[in-house]
Amino acid sequence: MNNLDTMNTPTHYRPLLALVCSTCLLLPMEALARTRSHTVVGNRGTGTREVSRHGADLSRSTTVTANNGKAWNHTYDRDVNRAEGTLDVSSSTTRPDGSTATRTLQRERTEGSRTVTGHATGFNGKTATLDSETVKADTGFDRQTTVVGPQGKAKETHVVVTRDGNSTTRTATHTKSPKP
C-alpha cells in the first residue's frame, strides 16, 4: 500500500470533516454576512455601489456622480423573516435636483393566504398603491387585487383558479373605475 492509497481512505478525512462541520454549526449568523463595494470610473463620471447581505436580507446603495458634479443616489433594502412569513422591500432614488421617488412593498404569508401591499411615490409627488390578497383552497386559489394609479384611477382584478385532475380553469374579472 502506498501513501496515495492511504490518503484516499475515508478514515483519514473523518477528523477534518468533523472539524469543518462543527465549525460551520458554531458560527453565528453574523459570520455569514457579506459586504462588498465596487467603483467604476468612466469618461462621463463615477459610479459606486455597496452591497451588504445577511442571510436573505439585502441592502444596496448606489451613487452615480457625473463629471459636472451632479449625483444620483439609489438605495434598496430587503428584509426577509421566514419564521413570520414576511417580506419588506423599500427603495428610494434621489435626483441631482433633490427630488425623490420611493417604493415600498410588504408581503405577509399565513397558512392558506398571502397579502401584498405596495406604495409608490414618483419624483412629481404623485402616488400609486397596490393591495392584493390570495386565499388558497384545496383545488386552487382566489386572488383579489386593487391597483390605484397616480391619477386616482383604480383597477380591480379578481382571479379564481380551480384544478380538477389534469384540468385547470382560470377565471379573471377586471373592473376599471373612472378618474375621480
Q: Which residues of 93-127 are buried (b: 16+ CB within 10 A; e: fewer)?
A: bbeeeeeebbbebebbeeeeebebebebbeeeeee
Give domain status of residue 79, yes or no.
no
Asked if residue 179 belongs to a domain, the reply is yes
Would residue 6 count as lying in a domain? no
* Domain contains 109: yes
| b (16+ CB within 10 A) / e for 34-44 | eeeeeeeeeee
Distance of CA 69 to the CA centre of its chain: 31
Task: With respect to residue 58, please indicate whether it lies within any of the assigned structural domains.
Answer: no
Number of domains the chain is built from: 1
Give the pLDDT of residue 70. 94
Give the pLDDT band (50/70/90) at residue 12.
Answer: low
Res 55 pLDDT > 80:
yes
Domain span including residue 152? 103-180
**Across 58-82, average pLDDT:** 94
Whether residue 21 lies inside any domain: the answer is: no
